[in-house]
Structure formats: structure tokens, C-alpha cells
């Protein structure tokens, strides 16, 4: 049975009518337009009437600041209770790690008595496009890998994708290696073309904890993105991968945190990440 278009034309008929080259050119342009529209949406700068914006998790359309405040009101009581159960406090500094292969995002909170970070929650990532390996260019649909940070200016409560924050790609390492791209977010709404997408329910918790930490005393929070959990065994399985040397460098930062439970200060020297 031959596939048909919505108007009943077979794919072969369309190709005959317009020519194979023209048809594939049209399809490529449509894909580029879709990518461009998604990038605009991820900017979180929707100029439309707020009443027409996508509704949030409670189906109440709100402008950005009011949306974030409503989300915090919903989730803060349960968060404070769960934090207290781990001797943690709402508004204290946070740290985020994400693993593409496992599809997990971890949120860590600094423990006051020890000064070290404690794992608060591990969230399932609802959607992440691309494959293992770093983001190289605008429109390649890849989720970045590396070490990023988020100050308050990169929070986007008015995102088309409910609530969001920009991780700051490209960083100094990415720029050194000629990588391009923009508006890479962690956001809600389960849709991803290069971003990490969470459910609206989960992004409300993540965003609220990050917003509270930044409002309290944290100047920025770090976001570390890895292809997989950087154990010795898992990295050894990737020894023949084109990104093996890059991943070995990422593992240095991963190991630093695993040993100290403190996110390292990250610099770039001679095209490599360095940690202290």
C-alpha cells in the first residue's frame, strides 16, 4: 500500500509533479523553518497577548512573573517538607547535573552543617533530542555536553514552554572550538530540539528551587551536562568513540564533584577544561 499525502496524492506523484530535487529542497526548508521556530520559542520572549499564551500546569494562562509565583505557591510547601527531611533548606544554593544516556536530571542542595552538596531529587528528562556527543552547530538538534552556569538574568518565566532557564551555551570551551548555537534551555512542555525538556510539574519544582537560591544569596548555579554517568567502566566502553578524549576531559570534572561533593571552578586553557 502506497503512502499518500493528506490530499490523496502518493509521494511518487508529488515527486513526479515537482521533481525529486525540488521536493527534497522543500522538505529541507520546512525542517529549517521548524528548527528556527523552536529556537524562537525557547527564547522565552513571546510577544503575544498573555491571555493567548500556552497555559501552565494548572491551565491558568499567566504572564511570566505571575506564572513563576503561582508555581512556587503550588510546590513550595511540599518542597520545604521534603527538604527538611534531608536536613536541607529552601533557598539554599543548588547545583544541577544531567545525564543524556540515562535521561536523568539531578538537583543537589548545599547542606549547611557540612558545606557540601546533597542530592535532593533525581528527575526523569521528558525529552532530549540528538545523540551522545556535544552540540557543534546551530540547528543540529544536539543537547550540549560540558560545564555551564546560570545567573538570574538567564531565568525565563515567560517561556512558551511554561518555565525555563538558559544554560549559557556556548561557553568559553565551545567558542574556542568554533561551536555555535543559542537559547539552549531547561524547560517544561516535553518538547525538545536541543534543549532538556521536563514535564510542567517537574520544571515547576526545579525552577522554584533555582529561583529561590538566586533570590537568596547564590549569584549563579552550575549546570553540568554529561553524555552518561562517567564511571570508569562506562567510559572504557566508549574508547573507540570519536568523542573519547573529550569525554575523558569531562570525566575530570565529574570525578572532582564525586570526590568532594563540591562543584569545581571551571576554566578553559589550551582548548581543555581545567578544574579547581
Query: What pLDDT digit, counting tens, does each position of 72-114 carry?
Result: 999 999 999 999 999 999 999 999 999 999 999 999 999 999 9
Q: What is the pTM of this model?
A: 0.81
169-184: per-residue pLDDT in tens?
A: 999 999 999 999 999 9
Q: Which residue has 533530542 as its cell numbers?
A: 129
Confirm whether 224 is a catalytic residue: no
213-267: per-residue pLDDT in tens?
A: 999 999 999 999 999 999 999 999 999 999 999 999 999 999 999 999 999 999 9
- Supply the pLDDT for residue 210: 98
- Supply the pLDDT for residue 63: 86
Residue of 152, 158, 201 lying closest to 62 (CA atoms) = 158
Given the residues 162, 195, 210, 224, the one annotated as active site: 195
Task: Looking at 96-171, list the stretches that DSSP marks H as alpha helix, in order from N- to C-terminal side.
Answer: none
The cell for 240 is 573507540
Q: How far apart are CA 44 and CA 63, in angstroms?
A: 11
Given the residues 156, 187, 210, 224, the one annotated as active site: 187
**In the chain, % of residues over pLDDT 70:** 78
32-52: per-residue pLDDT in tens?
A: 544 444 444 454 443 333 333
SS3 content of the chain, % helix, strand, coil (to 5): 35, 20, 45
pLDDT at 4 over 50: no
Q: How far apart are CA 260 and CA 62, in angstroms?
A: 41
Confirm whether 42 is a catalytic residue: no
| Distant-in-sequence, close-in-space partners of 47: CB < 8 Å, separation ≥ 6 | none
Amino acid at each position: 500500500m502506497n503512502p499518500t499525502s493528506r490530499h490523496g496524492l502518493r509521494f511518487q506523484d508529488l515527486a513526479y509533479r515537482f521533481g525529486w530535487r525540488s521536493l527534497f529542497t522543500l522538505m529541507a526548508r520546512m525542517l529549517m523553518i521548524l528548527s528556527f521556530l523552536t529556537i524562537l520559542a525557547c527564547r522565552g520572549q513571546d510577544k503575544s497577548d498573555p491571555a493567548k499564551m500556552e497555559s501552565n500546569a494548572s491551565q491558568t494562562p499567566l504572564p511570566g512573573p505571575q506564572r513563576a509565583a503561582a508555581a512556587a505557591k503550588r510546590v513550595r510547601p511540599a518542597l520545604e517538607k521534603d527538604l527538611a527531611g534531608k536536613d536541607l533548606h529552601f533557598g539554599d544554593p543548588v547545583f544541577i547535573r544531567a545525564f543524556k544516556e540515562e535521561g536523568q536530571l539531578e538537583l543537589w542542595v548545599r547542606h549547611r552543617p557540612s558545606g557540601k552538596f546533597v542530592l535532593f531529587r533525581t528527575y526523569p528528562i521528558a525529552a532530549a533530542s540528538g545523540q551522545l556527543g556535544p552540540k557543534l552547530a546551530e540547528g543540529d538538534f544536539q543537547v550540549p555536553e560540558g560545564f555551564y552556569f546560570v545567573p538570574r538574568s538567564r531565568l525565563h518565566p515567560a517561556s512558551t514552554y511554561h518555565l525555563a532557564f538558559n544554560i549559557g551555551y556556548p561557553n568559553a570551551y565551545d567558542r574556542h572550538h568554533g561551536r555555535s548555537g543559542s537559547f539552549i534551555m531547561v524547560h517544561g512542555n516535553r518538547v525538545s530540539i536541543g534543549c532538556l525538556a521536563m514535564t510542567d510539574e517537574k520544571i515547576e519544582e526545579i525552577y522554584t528551587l533555582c529561583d529561590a537560591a538566586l533570590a537568596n544569596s547564590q549569584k549563579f548555579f552550575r549546570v553540568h551536562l554529561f553524555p552518561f554517568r562517567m564511571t570508569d567502566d562506562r567510559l572504557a566502553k566508549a574508547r573507540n568513540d570519536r568523542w573519547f578524549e573529550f569525554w575523558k576531559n569531562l570525566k575530570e570534572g565529574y570525578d572532582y564533584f564525586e570526590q568532594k561533593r563540591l562543584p569545581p571552578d571551571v576554566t578553559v586553557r589550551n582548548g581543555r577544561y581545567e578544574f579547581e
